Structure 1
Amino acid sequence: MGDQVPNRRARLRAETSAEIKAIALKLMATGGPDAISLRAIAREMGMTANAIYGYYATRDDLVTTLINDVYSDLVERLEAARDALPPDDAAGRILAWAENFRTWSLANPEGFRLIYGDPVPGYQPPEEGVEAELRACAALVGLVAAAWPRAVERQSHGDHEWTDFDPHVVDTVRADHPDLPPAAVVLSLRVWGRMHGLVALEVYGHLRTQTREPGKVYSAEMADLISSLGF
């Protein structure tokens, strides 16, 4: 019996924490980033503000947890899609990442807006960065690393040094790919920009009056991206 009480408490705490995060995303979806506040969440849940503080000491703690959870869900799905293809199919793995990024984003617009949209006013991210965000960056560099022998011959990267990038990104990239030059990070950012750009326009409704088939436009962009990398 002694073990059951802590287990039950832990389960109830986890359920309450999950509800807090779900309501935070709902508030953001209806009221924008400004709507995320611990007091507003407490009112939605019929709890006191002090009770909410028992789960998240500050609003920034909640936002950091939300961002990490959303990013983790996204990255896990993208990694699974990538890893469904063999390591030597660099072009296929990049396309799988891109197409599944679009699919996830359209199915999770609130999550997309949280991690890629307007920042939450006043939010101060942790100095070491959000773990899942660094993981996503490292994964993109990994995709570029597989394409690097071809891509380097077809791309103009400019003159870059490791000091041009965030130290946490540099540490993560160099730990995984010690032989890659800074130009590979530049290329990964450019690849990411092409994947992200049309999806952001679609999520925010900016393509609605231009095309009835945004998926076809995105596929064409990704096909051109693959070609530009030498595949």
Structure 2
Amino acid sequence: MPERSLSAGFRVWQGDGMSAPSIRARVRAEIIEEIKAVARRHLETEGGNLSLRAVARDLGMVSSAIYRYFPSRDALLTALIIEAYQALGDAAEAGDAAVARDDLRGRWLGVSHAVRAWSLAHPAEYALLYGSPVPGYAAPSETVVPAQRVVFALAEIMVDGAAAGRLAPPEATPVPPRVRVDLARLLAPRPGALTEDQLVRCMAAWSQLFGLVSFEVFGRLAQGVVEDSEAYFDHQMRLTADLAGLPAEPGHADGRDEADEPSHSEEPDEPGRPDERDELRGRDDDEPGHAAAPAGGSGQPASEE
């Protein structure tokens, strides 16, 4: 039982000059981590309906002992939520850091794909953050800052773009007066970093990002809707980059990879010019029985979006 580890730890560390309080703190921290690890396993099968009694039973503890570490189920849920938000924020910021600072669109895609990858790898924790609310649980204020890290990562990319004068002007879509009050409050800590319209676009992209991830995590795209979910996600995130006004990736006119471009082995025919193959065969377009090719050529591959 974990409760017996305190005396064992004391015997192990006593010879190293550690005091009893420091040993207790170390053992307590280890038990807390064990409790959270077991609770995460319960999330995978039970969702947010955690039972402290069930967690204690899996740990070999009497049910009353777990309250020494978490005074309530809500306290344990809060600890799990904060850690999940922090892990997701770490992933998003790592995705941003992996791309050159001047590649604004690449950074945007780096953040987006990192959020998707983390969420698919941790569906139970993602569901705790963005799934159905846990009955009877109200997230306390200490969850707010960790929850904002992803949108702040996206906003920072737009701030860098705005500072460099590289954001495209927004479409003229009036913002409702009541929404403008909220935007002003959000913009107040960093006056001048973004305009109201730029922040609106950032928040729309943020909503789109988590909407797409939720659809995939919760199986909404797996019922004959989208076969290649990763390609679909990437395309949608490029659309949000357009919405945000971000410039194309360096070396690409529209932000797409060269591998995505259609391959053209022949130059398109000029209007009014005979097909070179017909010239080689000694025929003109106006020969009897020879129909002109449709404009654009039937053999040209369709351009992919």
The TM-score with structure 1 as length reference comes to: 0.85
Q: What is the letter of the counterpart of residue 153 of structure 1?
A: P
The CA RMSD measured in Å over matched residues stands at 2.5
Pairs aligned (count): 225
Which residue number in structure 2 is paired with residue 116 of structure 1?
A: 130
Q: Whole-Å Cα distance in 1 between the matches of residues 142 and 22 of structure 2? A: 32
1:151 to 1:72, Cα distance in 2 relative to 1, 3 A? farther
Which residue number in structure 1 is paired with residue 229 of structure 2?
A: 214
Seq. identity, % = 35
Report whether the alignment pairs 1:135 with 2:149.
yes
Q: Whole-Å Cα distance in 1 between the matches of residues 240 and 183 of structure 2? A: 23
1:227 to 201, 221, 242: 242
Comparing 66-75 with 5-14, which one deviates more in the overlay? Answer: 5-14
Asked if 2 retains the 8 angstrom alpha-carbon contact of 1:105 and 1:199, the reply is yes
Q: Whole-Å Cα distance in 1 between the matches of residues 210 and 78 of structure 2? A: 22
Q: Whole-Å Cα distance in 2 between the matches of residues 165 and 58 of structure 1? A: 36
Asked if 2 retains the 8 angstrom alpha-carbon contact of 1:68 and 1:131, the reply is no
The 4+ residue runs of structure 1 with deviation greater than 6 A are none
Which residue number in structure 2 is paired with residue 156 of structure 1?
A: 173
Asked if 2 retains the 8 angstrom alpha-carbon contact of 1:157 and 1:187, the reply is no
Displacement after TM superposition at 1:101 (Å): 0.9
Q: What is the letter of the counterpart of residue 23 of structure 2?
A: R
1:107 to 1:140, Cα distance in 2 relative to 1, 3 A? same
SS at match of 1:130: helix
Asked if 1 retains the 8 angstrom alpha-carbon contact of 2:92 and 2:115, the reply is yes
Higher helix share: 1
Which residue number in structure 1 is paired with residue 111 of structure 2?
A: 97
* Larger-Rg structure: 2
Q: What is the letter of the counterpart of residue 58 of structure 1?
A: S
> Which structure carries more relative contact order (alpha carbon 8 Å, separation 6+)?
1
Displacement after TM superposition at 1:69 (Å): 0.4
Which residue number in structure 1 is paired with residue 56 of structure 2?
A: 42
Q: Whole-Å Cα distance in 2 between the matches of residues 111 and 162 of structure 1? A: 33
Q: Whole-Å Cα distance in 2 between the matches of residues 63 and 165 of structure 1? A: 30
Displacement after TM superposition at 1:43 (Å): 2.0
Q: Which runs of structure 2 are paired with 1:1-231 in the superposition (5 Å)?
A: 1=14, 2-3=17-18, 5-34=20-49, 36-127=50-141, 129-148=143-162, 150-154=167-171, 156=173, 158-160=175-177, 163-164=181-182, 170=186, 174-175=188-189, 177-179=190-192, 180-210=194-224, 211-230=226-245, 231=247
Asked if 2 retains the 8 angstrom alpha-carbon contact of 1:106 and 1:203, the reply is yes
Asked if 2 retains the 8 angstrom alpha-carbon contact of 1:191 and 1:225, the reply is yes
Asked if 1 retains the 8 angstrom alpha-carbon contact of 2:201 and 2:243, the reply is no
SS at match of 2:148: helix
Asked if 1 retains the 8 angstrom alpha-carbon contact of 2:198 and 2:244, the reply is no
Gaps of 5+ in 1: none
Q: Whole-Å Cα distance in 2 between the matches of residues 196 and 105 of structure 1? A: 10
Displacement after TM superposition at 1:6 (Å): 3.8
SS at match of 1:103: helix
Gaps of 5+ in 2: 1-13, 248-305
Q: What is the letter of the counterpart of residue 37 of structure 1?
A: S
